[in-house]
Amino acid sequence: MGKKAGKVYVVGHKNPDTDSVCSAIAYAYLKKEITGEEYVARRAGQINEETHYVLEKFGVEPPALLSNVKLQVKDMDIHKIDGVAPNVSIKDTWAKMKANNVKTIPVLKEDELVGVISTGDIATSYMEVYDSTILSKAKTQYKNIIRTLDGRLVTGNEHGYFTKGKVAIGASNPDLMAEFIEKDDLVILGNRYESQACAVDVDASCIVVCQGAEVPEELILKAEEQSIVIISTPHDTFTAARLINQSIPVKHFMSQGPLTTFRMSDYVEDIKEVMTKKKFRDFPILDRHGRFKGFISRRRFMDVSKKKVILVDHNEKSQAVDGIEEAEIVEIIDHHRLGSIETMGPVFFRNQPVGCTATIICQMYEEAGIKPGRTMAGLLCCAIISDTLLFRSPTCTALDEQTARKLAKIADINMEEMAKEMFNAGSSLKGKSAEDICFQDFKQFTVNDAVFGVGQINSMSREELAEIKDMLKEHLPKVLKEHNLQMIYFMLTDILGESTELMCCGTGAKAYVTDAFDLPEDSEKIILKGVVSRKKQLIPALVGVLQQ
pLDDT at 1: 35
Q: What does the alpha-carbon distance between residue 141 and residue 109 come to, in Å, rounded to a whole number?
A: 17
Q: Establish if 282 belongs to a structural domain.
A: no
pLDDT (mean) for 5-13: 87
DSSP secondary structure letters along 153-189 = EEES-TTSEE-SS-EEE--S-HHHHHHH--TT-EEEE
Kind of pairing between the strands at 152-155 and 487-494? unpaired
User: 229 and 95: one domain?
Assistant: yes
At residue 329, what is the residue type?
I
Q: What is the pLDDT, as a whole number, of residue 271?
A: 83
Mean pLDDT, range 394-420, rounded to an integer: 96
Q: Could you read off the pLDDT of 332-344 as tens digits, one per residue?
A: 999 988 887 888 7
Query: Does 373 share its domain with 404?
Result: yes
Which backbone phi and psi does 240 adopt, to 5 degrees?
Answer: -60, -45
Number of domains in the chain: 3
CA angle at 505 for the pair 502 and 509, rounded to the nearest 5°: 80
Does residue 80 lie within any of the structural domains?
no
Answer yes or no: do 95 and 221 share one domain.
yes
pLDDT of residue 441: 87
pLDDT at 303 over 70: no
Q: What is the mean pLDDT of the chain?
A: 90
Q: Is residue 524 part of a domain?
A: yes
Return the CATH number at 143: 3.40.1390.20
Element (H, E) at 57: helix 49-57
Mention every residue, 6+ apart, whose C-beta is less than 8 A from residue 469: 492, 501, 503
On whether the CB atoms of residues 332 and 352 are closer than 8 A, the answer is: no
Give the list of residues 6+ apart from residue 523 with CB closer than 8 angstroms, or none: 514
**Residue 227 scores a pLDDT above 80:** yes
Q: Which residues contact 448 (CB under 8 A, 6 or more apart)?
A: 546, 547
Tell me the percentage of the chain whose pLDDT exceeds 90. 65
Query: Residue 522 has what pLDDT?
Result: 82
For residue 288, pLDDT beyond 90 = no
What is the domain-level CATH number for residue 497?
A: 3.10.310.20
98 and 247 co-located in one domain: yes
> Which residue among 252, 278, 295 closes a domain?
252
Mean of pLDDT values over 348-358:
96
- Residue 306 is predicted with a pLDDT of 83
Whether the per-residue pLDDT at 4 is higher than 60: the answer is no
Q: Residue 125: what residue type?
A: S
Residues pairing with 117 in the sheet = 105
CATH label of the domain that carries residue 15: 3.90.1640.10
Higher local confidence (pLDDT), 159 or 170: 159
Q: Quick one: 62 and 105 in the same domain?
A: no
Q: Residue 548: its pLDDT value, please?
A: 80
User: Which of 354, 415, 351 shows the shortest CA–CA distance to 381?
Assistant: 415
Instruction: Assess whether 417 and 439 both reside in one domain.
Output: no
Exposed, middle or buried, 499 (CB in 10 Å: 0-12/13-18/19+)? middle
User: Average pLDDT of 399-413?
Assistant: 97
In a domain, 81, yes or no: no
- Integer Cα distance of 30 and 52 in angstroms: 22
125 membership: H or E segment, kind and range? helix 119-127
Out of 171-175, 236-240, 450-454, least confident range:
171-175
Confidence of residue 219 (pLDDT cuts 50, 70, 90): very high
Q: Are residues 407 and 333 in the same domain?
A: yes
pLDDT at position 302: 63
Same domain, 35 and 100: no
Closest CA to 378 of 338, 315, 432, 422: 422
Are 120 and 234 members of one domain? yes
With respect to residue 316, please indicate whether it lies within any of the assigned structural domains: yes
Give the C-alpha separation, 259 to 257, whole Å: 4
- For residue 194, tell me if it sits in a domain: yes
pLDDT in tens, 418-470: 999 998 888 777 778 999 899 988 999 998 889 999 999 998 888 989 999 99
Residue closest to 457 by CA, chosen among 11, 15, 4: 15
Average pLDDT over residues 481-508: 94
What's the CA angle centered on 186, arms 183 and 191, to 5 degrees? 110
**Does some domain include residue 539?**
yes
Last residue in a domain, options 425, 449, 479: 425
User: Which domain covers residue 324, as residue numbers?
Assistant: 8-71+307-425
Domain-embedded: residue 151: yes
Q: Are residues 410 and 317 in the same domain?
A: yes
**Mean of pLDDT values over 210-216:** 93
Domain match, 497 and 537 both: yes
Domain C-terminal end among 425, 450, 470: 425
> Distance between CA atoms of 481 and 286, rounded to whole angstroms?
39
**What phi and psi values does residue 463 have, to the nearest 5 degrees?**
-60, -40
CB 166, CB 136: distance < 8 Å = yes
pLDDT at 171 over 80: no
Smallest CA-to-CA distance from 149 within 221, 248, 228 is with: 248
How far is it, in rounded angstroms, from Cα 229 to Cα 158?
A: 8
Coil, helix or strand at residue 392: coil
> How do residues 93-146 score in pLDDT, each as one tens digit?
999 999 988 888 999 998 889 999 988 888 887 776 678 899 999 999 999 999
d(CA 15, CA 13): 6
Q: In this structure, are 110 and 56 located in the same domain?
A: no
The pLDDT score that the predictor gives to residue 373 is 96
- Section 16-45 average pLDDT: 96
Q: Element (H or E) spanning 317, and its range? A: none
